[in-house]
Amino acid sequence: MKKPIILTVDDDPQVLASIARDLRQEFRRDYRILPVGSGPAALATLNELRVRAEPLALVLADQRMPEVEGVEVLAHARTLFPEAKRVLLTAYADTSAAIRAINAAQLDHYFLKPWDPPEQLLYPTLHDLLRSWQATYRPAFEGLRLIGFQWSPRSHELKDFLSGYLVAYQWLDFEKDAESSTLLTAQGLGADDLPVLLYADGQVATKPDKYDVARHLGLPTAAQQELYDVVIIGAGPAGLAAAVYGASEGLKTLLIEKQSFGGQAGSSSRIENYLGFPTGLSGADLAYRAWTQATRLGAELIAPQEVVALRVQDGYKVLTLKDQAEVRARAVILTTGVSYRTLDAPGLARLSGAGVYYGSARTEAHLCQDQPVYIIGGGNSAGQAAMFLSAYASRVYVVIRGASLEASMSTYLIEQLRQTPNIEVLSNTQVVEACGGQSLDAVVLQHDGQAPEKHPARALFVFIGAKPSTEWICDLALCDAKGYLLTGRDLVADPRYATHWKLSREPFLLETCVPGLFAAGDGRAGAMARVASAVGEGSMAIKFVHQYLSE
């Protein structure tokens, strides 16, 4: 954190050196002392400090200076830094000017020369003024800043990415935060360059993609070795568990994730039925703990990075990454999970990322402050999002097509929804249209047997089920009609698939039709869509990897 500045101005070099020396002697521990040798230079310095968003605590200016007098410097400081304390240094003959300056520049104090001894005539008053300034001072944010339009899908994507990796950042809405225009102007940028990332090291990126951001933040995106015992594709609960157990059991382990750690569970605002956490925890917290644990045990994690192809060559699994780099593995575990299904209704595709969101309740909750919001879906993800948003929104409507939540949502969540006064479940209802210009402002609902009705809405969050993220692998590994990976007994029990298994032994429980290629978690046929189940399967997959490698 930068120290606040005390600016002192005097055109007499000896006086300037003397006052700067006394100020440093008393205040250098908590403040930067900046001496300036003329009035014009002081005005230029104030302008520069403003552009750089430097914290200015106090200005001490001599009155009698050629070209620009001290009162003019203080008046300019008041315009640029209204909270900074303003002090005039003057001779006895100029006390009338100092008195006039109390009104003209809203002077906080004036000192007569000489101020010796400073312990009696200078420091006590300055300490009082600086304490008063500190009482209202709020240090400027010095980390990563993201400037964009609130209703921009690209801005939403970056916010989601940064939040997914627990990267602290400050969001500035170009249309509402005056500071954003100042920061952009200082960089020679404008609205056409948005979204813009201002890094803590001073570098600037316009319209960046997540891969550029990851590289700048130092996230590992390339494998360090050419051959691994096991490569895990997908860092949801199943993949993270596999990485933890693989590394802890001595396997050379690589985990690859194309989005952010935690998968769909990582975006959950609250998980309350996971063993060992009686008060619950967020999906992001669970993912971060698992990520840290896997790394500590020796697993290598790269993200964001995507596997675009997989082939078997000389008994090894060869993975081709999005940047065309290749990684070889003796065994692979597919924990690619599932992705949210999109809703096919007028207006939703156009407003996606601009009021319509798929599983992004945490990053966009603030825009729902005291506004009505709608959630589509009756699963646990929808219930957790409703509970989280109820702390922000004036009212949360949970829209379901069925008659009740009992068949699809955990009982504890249903009870929480019932006990939250600003949550209402709309059963036998569908969203048939999303309305708005640049952003969502209303939804059209249709209850069974009734005419459609339009209702105001600030945001619409969609949780209508999921589809497996397996389209890239189904040419190599067998999938069922819905795209879920077939494993174990499913490969030999059904005559349609039996010919695809070529070995004399039966496939291991989580093994696909490709020996040494395993599947775990929500993308596997027959898996139960629960965090604990995914963690169990990911851990169990490592046992079968050991058995495969020992053949």
Residue ending a domain, choose from 168, 196, 217: 217
| 536 and 419 fall within a common domain | no
Map tokens 């966009």 to a residue. 364
Map tokens 């959950």 to a residue. 268
Q: What's the pTM?
A: 0.73
DSSP SS3 for 284: helix
Query: What pLDDT does 396 receive?
Result: 96
- Residue 278 neighbours by CB under 8 Å, 6+ apart: none
Query: What pLDDT does 90 receive?
Result: 83
| 370 and 318 fall within a common domain | no
| 245 and 335 fall within a common domain | yes
- Taking the C-alpha atoms of residue 539 and residue 467, their distance in angstroms, rounded to an integer, is 23
Which structural domain range is residue 58 located in? 5-136
344 located within any domain: no
Return the CATH number at 405.
Answer: 3.50.50.60
User: Rounded to the nearest 5°, which phi and psi values hold at 160?
Assistant: -65, -40
102 located within any domain: yes
Query: What pLDDT does 360 receive?
Result: 66
| 325 and 380 fall within a common domain | no
Q: Give the pLDDT means over successive 10-residue stretches in the chain (551 positions).
A: 89 93 94 95 94 90 88 90 89 66 71 86 91 82 87 88 85 88 89 92 90 88 94 96 97 94 78 83 85 95 94 94 95 92 90 86 80 93 91 94 91 94 96 94 93 94 88 93 93 81 92 96 91 95 96 86
478 located within any domain: yes
CB 535 within 8 A of CB 238: yes
User: Rounded to the nearest 5°, which phi and psi values hold at 317?
Assistant: -95, 125
Query: What pLDDT does 161 receive?
Result: 87
93 located within any domain: yes
Residue ending a domain, choose from 136, 162, 187: 136
87 located within any domain: yes
The set of long-range contacts for 122-127, using a CB threshold of 8 Å and a minimum separation of 24, is 122/22, 123/26, 126/23, 126/26, 126/27, 126/58, 126/87
- Taking the C-alpha atoms of residue 423 and residue 386, their distance in angstroms, rounded to an integer, is 7
Query: What pLDDT does 51 receive?
Result: 85
Query: What pLDDT does 32 receive?
Result: 95
Q: CB atoms < 10 A from the CB of 154, how many? A: 15
Task: Report the number of distinct structural domains present in the chain.
Answer: 4
Helix (H) or strand (E) holding 340: strand 338-340
- Taking the C-alpha atoms of residue 42 and residue 9, their distance in angstroms, rounded to an integer, is 7
- Residue 24 neighbours by CB under 8 Å, 6+ apart: 33
CB 261 within 8 A of CB 299: no
349 located within any domain: no
Distances (CA, A) of 370 to 304, 392, 462: 35, 6, 20
- Taking the C-alpha atoms of residue 512 and residue 501, their distance in angstroms, rounded to an integer, is 9
| 20 and 96 fall within a common domain | yes
350 located within any domain: no
Helix (H) or strand (E) holding 329: strand 326-334
Query: What pLDDT does 102 receive?
Result: 64
347 located within any domain: no
- Taking the C-alpha atoms of residue 274 and residue 131, their distance in angstroms, rounded to an integer, is 49
- Residue 225 neighbours by CB under 8 Å, 6+ apart: 252, 254, 300
Residue-wise burial string across 238-268, b where 16 or more C-beta atoms lie within 10 A, e elsewhere? bbbbbbbbbbbeebbbbbbbbbbbbbbbbbb
Query: What pLDDT does 116 receive?
Result: 85
Query: What pLDDT does 264 receive?
Result: 77
CB 265 within 8 A of CB 286: yes
